[in-house]
Amino acid sequence: MTVLIRLMLGSACRRALSAATLAGFVIATAAAGADRTVQTPSIFAPASAPAYAIRELTLIVFGITGVIFLVVAGLTVYAIMRFRRRRGDDGREPPQVYGSLQIELAWTVVPILIVVVLFLVTTRYIFAIEGRPPAPEALEVTIVGHQWWWEIRYPKLGIVTANELHVPLSDPARPTPTFLTLQSADVIHSFWIPQLAGKMDVIPNKTNRIWIDPQKPGGYVGQCAEYCGLQHAGMLLIVTVHSREDFAKWAAEQQAPARDDAGVRAGRELFSSLSCINCHAIRGTTANGVFGPDLTHLMSRWTIGAGVIQNTPENIRAWIDDPASLKPGALMPAMKLSRGDLDKVTAYLVSLR
Ligand code: CUA
């Protein structure tokens, strides 16, 4: 897991991620009522119907291409051994064969047939995955790719969050799939959670759809899979699959209005007077910007900057002070606040649980 996260996060971000941060991340995942560990996102460890189908197809393709490899490599090794130079060879060129209709037909028709078989098998799987209509009980989520984070909206539940997708477990006996509508606010991104579904491009001015039906509770990680600028590697996706009850609990918490803690009023007023509110929304306040992540329940998330750094008060303070020091290229400007104001705004944001 450590290796994976480090690979996923760009080298610039790696500096910001200490071993302690990673340990904290794994523990936080565990505390969320999920599995004890976050699984490595291998397509060979699927947990959702589209991912099972992709593994099946991969094994079929590996099987066919493996046989081809064995035949070709076997014949090559045989030819090398059987016809190698021996002592006493006369040094003449062996007989050359030109224009054999049989041989040429064989090496044209057989590969074409293999390609047709691979094409048909793949098409069958693609249609089987894409043809599934959204069931009435399906959860609808809209994901908007941004440079460089993921906006996550639950239109029917009235929830808006960022970078961390929460979905209910889908029991095969009583399926509750999640249908994702993918949109982009700027450039082409690609949504990919290897254990749950295939990759799907996230394209400006085009809406793509994908679905997942996670059959094992736990945490899953994914990553933007289409180069989208400097922080392409800083677009981590964290998925938590909850039991039905836990998901309802999470949704209720997210639906609650932002906390209005009297102790941090000064910070709240300061925040409302700053340009923060042009980009960020906090439900129930004058902050209703849409360019940056919704902060209504900021502290319910494990990371800030889409997986770049763990979500702690110290890191929030450092982020407000200068996001680029943690995530070079981040579009949020350094807020240039006085130390006192920085403390007030941090205290307010940290109260948003
Ligand atoms: Cu977004 Cu790569």
**pLDDT tens figures, 304-349:** 999 999 999 999 999 999 999 999 999 999 988 999 999 999 999 9
Instruction: Tell me the mean pLDDT in the region 279-302.
Output: 93
For 58, 252, 279, 292, 341, the CA distances from 348, given in Å and listed in that order, are: 50, 22, 17, 17, 11
CA distance 161 to 290: 11
Nearest CA, atom 1, ligand 1: 189
For 28, 98, 183, the CA distances from 296, given in Å and listed in that order, are: 20, 75, 22
Residue 349, burial from CB neighbour count under 10 angstroms (0-12, 13-18, 19+)? buried
CA distance 180 to 143: 7
Give the pLDDT of residue 135.
Answer: 81
- pLDDT digits 0-9 by tens, 38-58: 546 889 999 999 999 999 999
Distance in Å from the first CA to the final CA of the chain: 27
Q: Check whether 161 has a pLDDT greater than 70.
A: yes
Q: Check whether 132 has a pLDDT greater than 70.
A: yes
Give the pLDDT of residue 19.
Answer: 37
CA of 123 to the centre of ligand 1 (A): 27
CA of 177 to the centre of ligand 1 (A): 25
Give the pLDDT of residue 17.
Answer: 40
Q: Which atom of ligand 1 is nearest to the CA of 225?
A: 2
Residues within a 6 A CB radius of ligand 1:
145, 148, 189, 224, 226-228, 232, 235
Cα 296 versus chain centre, distance = 23
Lowest-pLDDT range of 14-28, 31-45, 296-310: 14-28
Q: What is the mean pLDDT of the chain?
A: 87
Q: Which atom of ligand 1 is nearest to the CA of 228?
A: 2
